[in-house]
């Protein structure tokens, strides 16, 4: 396990390096006149900052390779992602405040997605080709098609018209009032999780169908084990391996979806930070969020790979 982990971590280096180059090059595509635009859009700040100062703050006054070298060295050796252009706050500080919020939203959405997907997927497989199965499958394709921002908008609009109730939008931090925070995050998490559940539900069904036809399941039935034991202990655990992979693959979708959900429900997470930064053209923040998201997704996928050993006794890392 130790050697395997070391090898996996080593293999992450080229991926992370390439990811950092993607982030760096994308942001450096800024055409020169955008800096003028930045200055004209932020009138107040423009008084205090000249074109040269902004160029220097963005590091655009050096050749590309040197810019990249300095940028990556600052991150690796000092954990320094630069300063916000207009707020004079270190980007890492801003990110540290926002990251846990998005993480919580993502985690809750994942729990929602799984608690919709697994029971329905299992039910669908056990009752294959019955009316219930068809209903469940149609429901899953429908969930896949409903855009989360529309669902979110509907949740804001219709309960307010019908019952005069609307979801809370004044964000309360988890540490200040855990119960209120969870109540507040529940609806955004349900909206975000609903869409994600569809693919997981379909895969759970497919995998369960495959596993339920295996010999060892027949043996389990023949031994006279109760259905719950056959399904949950013998079948589900083996069907879960690809499902867990899918959860890893959905991490980017989850983070992307969080941006929209945070915007609708005014949750001060990374998504809202990114959108505000985009509106103010605060490039150091944009770069920071971009990079952190890429690194986070890479590590989530590593975690997923490592979890196979726990789920599937056949997989033992060497």
Partner 1 sequence: MAAVIPATGVAAAALPAAPRPPGFFVRLFRDKPLGAAGGVLLLFFLVVGLFAPWLAPYGYNEIAPIERLKPPSWSHWFGTDNLGRDVLSRCIHGAQLSVIIGCTAAALATVISALIGIVSGYLGGRFDLVVQRFVDAWQSFPDLIILIVVVSVIGPGMPQIIGTLALLLGIAGSRIVRSAVIGVREHMYVHSAQSIGASMPRILWRHILPNVMPPIIVLFTTRVGTVILAESGLSFLGLGVPPPAPTWGSMLSGSGRTYMFQGPWLALAPGLCLTAVVYATNVFGDALRDLLDPRMRGIK
Binding site for partner 1 (CB under 8 A): 14-19, 21-22, 26-27, 29-31, 34, 141-142, 144-147, 149-150, 153-154, 156-158, 160-161, 199, 202-203, 206, 252-253, 255-257, 259-260, 263, 274-275, 277-278, 281, 283, 286, 289-290, 293-295, 297-298, 301
| Upper half-sphere CA count for residue 247 (Cβ side, 13 Å) | 26
Q: How far apart are CA 191 and CA 221, in angstroms?
A: 38
CB of 245 to partner 1, least distance (A): 12
Query: Which residue's CB is nearer to partner 1, number 82 or number 257?
Result: 257
Within 8 A by CB and 6+ apart from 316, the residues are 309
CB of 94 to partner 1, least distance (A): 16
3-state secondary structure of 60: coil
Query: Which residue's CB is nearer to partner 1, number 116 or number 259?
Result: 259
Query: Which residue's CB is nearer to partner 1, number 181 or number 271?
Result: 271
How many separate helices (H) and strands (E) can be counted in the chain? Answer: 15, 0
CB of 31 to partner 1, least distance (A): 7
CB of 314 to partner 1, least distance (A): 21
Q: How far apart are CA 126 and CA 129, in angstroms?
A: 9
Where does residue 197 fall: left (phi above 0), alpha (psi -120 to 50 degrees), or beta otherwise?
alpha
CB of 178 to partner 1, least distance (A): 28
What values do phi and psi take at 108, rounded to 5? -65, -40
Query: Which residue's CB is nearer to partner 1, number 19 or number 54?
Result: 19
Q: Yes or no: say if 203 and 121 are a contact pair by the CB < 8 Å rule.
A: yes
Q: Yes or no: say if 82 and 168 are a contact pair by the CB < 8 Å rule.
A: no
CB of 15 to partner 1, least distance (A): 5
CB of 201 to partner 1, least distance (A): 12
Please give the C-alpha separations between residue 59 and each of 53, 65, 289, in angstroms, as whole numbers.
Answer: 9, 11, 18
Query: Which residue's CB is nearer to partner 1, number 230 or number 251?
Result: 251
Tell the burial category of 206 from Cβ atoms under 10 Å away from its Cβ (0-12, 13-18, 19+).
middle
Query: Which residue's CB is nearer to partner 1, number 24 or number 317?
Result: 24
Q: How far apart are CA 123 and CA 133, in angstroms?
A: 7
Query: Which residue's CB is nearer to partner 1, number 94 or number 286?
Result: 286
Structure tokens at 128: 């294959």
């Amino acid at each position: 396990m130790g050697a395997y982990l070391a090898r996996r971590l080593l293999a992450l280096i080229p991926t992370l390096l390439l990811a950092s180059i993607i982030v760096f090059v994308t942001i450096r595509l800024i055409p020169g006149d955008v800096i003028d635009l930045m200055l004209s859009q932020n009138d107040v700040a423009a008084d205090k900052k000249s074109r040269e100062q902004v160029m220097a703050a963005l590091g655009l006054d050096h050749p590309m390779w040197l810019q990249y070298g300095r940028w990556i060295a600052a991150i690796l050796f000092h954990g320094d992602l630069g300063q916000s252009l207009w707020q004079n706050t270190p980007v890492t500080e801003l990110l540290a405040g926002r990251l846990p919020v998005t993480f919580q939203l993502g985690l809750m959405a994942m729990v929602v997605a799984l608690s919709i997907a697994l029971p329905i997927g299992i039910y669908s497989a056990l009752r294959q080709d019955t009316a219930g199965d068809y209903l469940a499958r149609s429901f899953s394709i429908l969930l896949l098609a409903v855009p989360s921002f529309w669902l979110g908008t509907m949740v804001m609009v219709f309960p307010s018209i019908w019952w005069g109730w609307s979801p809370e939008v004044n964000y309360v931090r988890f540490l200040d009032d855990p119960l209120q925070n969870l109540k507040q995050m529940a609806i955004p998490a349900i909206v975000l999780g609903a869409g994600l559940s569809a693919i997981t539900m379909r895969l759970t069904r497919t995998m369960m169908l495959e596993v339920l036809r295996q010999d060892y399941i027949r043996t389990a039935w023949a031994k006279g084990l109760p259905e719950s034991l056959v399904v949950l202990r013998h079948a589900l655990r083996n069907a879960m391996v690809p499902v867990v992979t899918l959860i890893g693959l959905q991490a980017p979708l989850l983070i992307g979806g969080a941006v929209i959900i945070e915007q609708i429900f005014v949750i001060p997470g990374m998504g809202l930070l990114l959108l505000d930064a985009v509106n103010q053209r605060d490039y150091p923040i944009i770069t920071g969020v971009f990079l952190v998201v890429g690194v986070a997704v890479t590590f989530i996928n590593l975690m997923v790979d490592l979890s196979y050993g726990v789920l599937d006794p056949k997989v033992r890392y060497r």
